[in-house]
A and B are shown apart, each in its own frame.
Chain A
Amino acid sequence: MEEVRAYIESGILELYVLGQLSAEEQGEVEGMAAKYAEIRKEIEAIEIAMETYAISNAVLPSEGLDLKVLSAIESLKTPEETLSPVMQVPDKTIAAPIQTPLVTVAKDSRIRSLRIALAACAALLLISLVALYSAHHELSEAQNQILALNKQNQSFAATVGYMKQNTADLQKLADMPADPNWKTVKLAGTKMDPSAKMVVYWHTTGKHVMVDNSKMALPANDQNHQYQLWALVNGKPVDLGVFDVKPDTSHILINMKEISGAQAFAVTLEKRGGSVSPTMNQMIVMGGVSI
């Protein structure tokens, strides 16, 4: 027993309890403890002393740390363990470190949540594509509408312009009888086309000459020819300009060149742009000025 006493008094048991020994020395102490009850008791007494010393130097953890620790432990459990009717901890916010089987459990749930996220992303992408397509569709529809409205607007403006011109022409015509200087000259068809006829208005002092489209009965000219108006002044033809006869002519009155004095007016069919002198066999209408 002297050996045991010396062993105890060497202080190695204290170092053992304090975790200060190498693995080899630890094994030695454990062997001695297994062999001698006295050593076992001594170790326990030292342990209890250190335990009490630690407790007397305790530092209280923050409130709520117990729940964190318990939930960390709870999340470390394997699924079968979780089924046991042990108190469940509501707070699961603490992630579980290490321990192999659990990592796969955590991984599974992570994969599952990743899958859900992926599905959500795909759904969002699909919705965005549909929304984009419909927005694009609506936009092109709106653009088409704008184009159509623009066209309509243009034709409307053209119509308004045409009507304004018409109104002005009609006003001019309405004013003519009140002005004695306006002469109305009716031109009758020649033997080239006996059914042809037209009307020329001539202002004797203002020299204006106008052709009345609405009272015109001439065959339409082609692309290479134009009608040319002539005034006969003292037996000589004077050019008063060319005009076209088209089925869709918009103007009522066509202004021609001015002339101060004329005895008669005539129209010949000439090459496009007019001729210097009238082609007599192409005279289609003619009429004298009545005083």
Chain B
Amino acid sequence: MAPSKKISLSEEDLVLALKSRETIAVQALYDMYSGALLGVISRIVLQQEIAEDLLQETFVKIWNSAEQYDASKGRLFTWMMNIARNLAIDKVRSKDFRNTSKNQDIENNVDFIDAQSKVTFNADILGLKDLVTALKPEFKHVLDMVYFKGYTHVEAAEELDLPLGTVKTRIRMAIMELRKNFN
């Protein structure tokens, strides 16, 4: 995709177009968010082919349930991101997926993906990775478990053998740190 072809719309226009079932909304969503959504899916499902199938499924689900999106309850991306993550988690927990024994421990996914250097950074926020990695490791770890690896915060607390309150605090601190960096 040449950058000139990319479509970018304001969030209001996007939602309007999506709800009136105009294909251009999907084109815009794809151009703006396919990488971010695939980034989330890829950290839960390692196989690129399956991850991309799930990305397609995500867009189909976005299209089919556009009516259910309520802008007053949150941003469009948050809603799409949750669709993508839930599809990926459902896939990982499905019987047929677990039967393909090649799957790596979900725990290692982030490092694995990063090691494969498949992570591509948005040009607009070049250098951001440094800021993100500057997050305190224990904060980042908890956030990534919940945001990228499909753990619930309860599961993360059990896994890390931390009180639930501590996990919640660390997630909040990590996000606070991100907000500081992104502003």
Q: Interface of A with B (CB < 8 Å)?
A: 9-12, 14-15, 17-20, 30, 33-34, 43-63, 65-66, 68-70, 72-74, 76-77, 81, 84, 86-87, 89, 94, 96-99
Which B residues are in CB contact (< 8 Å) with A72?
A: 56, 59-60
Most buried by B among A11, A69, A98: A69
Contact A59 B113 (CB under 8 A): yes
CA–CA, A113 and B162, complex, Å: 60
Distance between A23 CB and nearest chain B CB, rounded to angstroms: 12
Q: How far is the CA of A52 from the CA of B38 in the complex (A)?
A: 14
Cβ-defined partner of A54 (8 Å) among B36, B52, B121: B36
Q: Are B55 and A57 in contact (CB under 8 A)?
A: no
Known A19-B82, A66-B1; contact A54-B40, beta-carbon cutoff 8 A: yes
A19-B85, A98-B64 given; A58·B52 CB < 8 A: no
The answer to whether A61 touches B52, judged by C-beta atoms less than 8 angstroms apart, is yes
Known: A11-B171, A14-B172, A50-B175. A61 touches B34 (CB 8 A): yes
A100 to chain B, nearest CB (A): 10
| Contact A61/B175 with A11-B169, A47-B77, A87-B27 known, Cβ cut-off 8 Å | no
Expressed in whole angstroms, the minimum distance between the Cβ of A276 and any Cβ of chain B is 108
Contacting pair A57 B23 (CB below 8 A): no
- Residues of A contacting B43 in the complex (Cβ-Cβ under 8 angstroms): 57
Total residue contacts A-B, CB cutoff 8 A:
172
- Contacts A50-B147, A72-B56; A60 near B35 (Cβ below 8 A): yes
Q: How far is the CA of A56 from the CA of B125 in the complex (A)?
A: 7
Contact assessment for B26 and A69 in the assembled complex, using a CB-CB cutoff below 8 Å: yes
Is chain B's interface secondary structure helix, strand, loop, or mixed overall? helix
- A54-B81, A73-B63, A98-B64 are contacts. A68–B56 as well, Cβ < 8 Å? yes
The majority secondary structure among interface residues of chain A is: helix
Q: Assess the B63–A76 pair: CB atoms within 8 A.
A: yes
B171 close to A57 (CB less than 8 A): no
Task: Name which residue of chain A comes closest to B72, CB basis.
Answer: A34
For residue B31, which residues in chain A have a CB less than 8 angstroms away from its CB? 66
Cβ-defined contact, A48 with B182, below 8 A: yes
Report if B93 contacts A (CB, 8 A): no
Cβ contact within 8 Å between B81 and A50: yes
In this complex, how many residues of chain B approach chain A with their Cβ under 8 Å: the count is 62
Can you report 30 A-B residue pairs in the complex whose CB atoms are below 8 A from each other? A11-B169, A11-B172, A15-B153, A15-B168, A17-B78, A18-B147, A19-B81, A20-B153, A50-B81, A51-B81, A53-B182, A55-B39, A56-B121, A56-B122, A57-B39, A58-B35, A58-B121, A59-B119, A60-B118, A61-B35, A61-B38, A65-B55, A69-B34, A70-B27, A72-B59, A77-B21, A87-B27, A94-B56, A96-B60, A97-B60
Chain B residues whose C-beta falls within 8 Å of the C-beta of A99 in the assembled complex? 64
CA distance in complex: A55, B60 (Å): 21
Residues of A within 8 A of B21 (CB): 77, 81
Q: Is the CB of A63 within 8 A of B78?
A: no
Chain B contacts for A63, CB-based, 8 A = 1
Out of B75, B113, B146, B178, which one reaches A20, CB within 8 Å? B146
Once the chains bind, are A58 and B1 in contact (CB under 8 Å)? no
In the complex, the chain B residue whose C-beta lies closest to that of A8 is B172
Of the residues B73, B81, B128, B152, contact of A56 by C-beta under 8 Å = B128
